[in-house]
Amino acid sequence: MTVPRAAAGRGGVTSDASRAAIVIGTAVLLALSLAGIAGTVVAIDQVAILSPDRTTIEATPGETLEIDVTLQSQGGHGGEGVTNVSLVAQYHPDYLEVTDIERGPWLEGEDTEVQTATAIGNDQGTAIIEQRREPAAGGTAGTGTIATLTVRVAADAPPGTTPISFDDSNVALTGDWPIAVVDESVTVATDGGAESLGTFEHPDPDTLTLESGGATANDSIDDGTAEHDGGLAVPGFTALLALIAVSVIAGALWVSRERRR
C-alpha cells in the first residue's frame, strides 16, 4: 500500500511540509542572528518575486494556453522603485511553442511611458520581453501582472510534464543597489501524464534579437496593483542577508506550491 507523501510513519519519516518548515525556520533564525551581529534592523525589501498564475496546467495536444506572470516587489533602499524588468521564459521547443508575449500593467504609472522589446525564439525554447519606464519617475513597487504568455502545446506532444521557467529574468531598481529575483516555474501536464518529458539545453538568451514594441503612455492608470511607495527600506541591508531572504521566500513558495497540488 502506498504511504501518502504528507504522512510521517513510526520510523521517523518526515513530511515534505515539515522539512520545508525546518528549512524556513533555520533560515529565519540565521537571518535574525546576522541582523543582531550587524546591529541593524533588516527589512526584506530587496527581493522581486516572479510567479505564474498557476503552477500546474492540465492541457491536451494542440491546446493554446494563456499564462499571466505576476511580479511582487517593495523596491529597495530609500524608496527606490523598479524601473526595468527583463522576463525570460524558457521551455522545451519539442512540446511547447510561445505564439505571443505581451506586457502587463505592473510598470505603469503617471507621467511616464513603458518602453517594450520582445523576442520569441521557439527553436531555442526562449521568449523574452523587456520593459523599461521612461522616465523612471521613482519606479514602481507593489504586486501586479508583468506579462502574459500565449503558449501552444504541440499537436504531437506525448503524455507527460514539461516546465516553463523564468530563471534568467532580471529586475533593476532606480538606484545602484542590486535586487535579488526569486522565480517560480509552471508545469504543463499533457494528456494526464505525470512523467517528465525531459530537459532541453537552452542557448544564452542574449543571442536573441529583440524587436522594439515602442512606448505606451500611462497617464491615467490607477488600478491599485502597482503603485510606488516608500516600501520598508532600511540602510545597511547586506548581500548576505538578501541571499537569506531569497532562501526564506523560495521555501515559502515551495510550501505554497505543494499545498496547491
**pLDDT for residue 126 is more than 70:** yes
**pLDDT for residue 206 is more than 50:** yes
**pLDDT for residue 104 is more than 80:** yes
Q: What is the mean pLDDT of residues 22-29?
A: 49
Question: What residue type is assigned to position 40 of the chain?
Answer: T
Nearest to 82 by CA among 202, 169, 211, 19: 169
Cβ 131 vs Cβ 118: under 8 Å = no
- The residue that leads in pLDDT, 28 or 114, is 114
pLDDT of residue 111: 87
Residue 72 half-sphere exposure, CB side, CA atoms within 13 Å?
11
**The C-alpha cell that represents 256 in the structure block:** 505554497
pLDDT of residue 261: 54
pLDDT of residue 138: 92
Q: 191 in the Ramachandran plot: left (φ > 0), alpha (ψ -120 to 50) or beta?
A: left
What pTM value is reported for the model?
0.69
Cβ 49 vs Cβ 250: under 8 Å = no
Query: Cα–Cα distance between 126 and 66 in angstroms, integer?
Result: 16
66 alpha carbon, distance to own chain's centre: 16
pLDDT band at 78 (very low <50, low <70, confident <90, very high): confident
pLDDT of residue 38: 38
**pLDDT for residue 255 is more than 90:** no
Q: List pLDDT tens digits, range 134-185.
A: 999 999 999 999 999 999 999 999 999 999 999 999 999 998 888 999 999 9
pLDDT of residue 211: 81
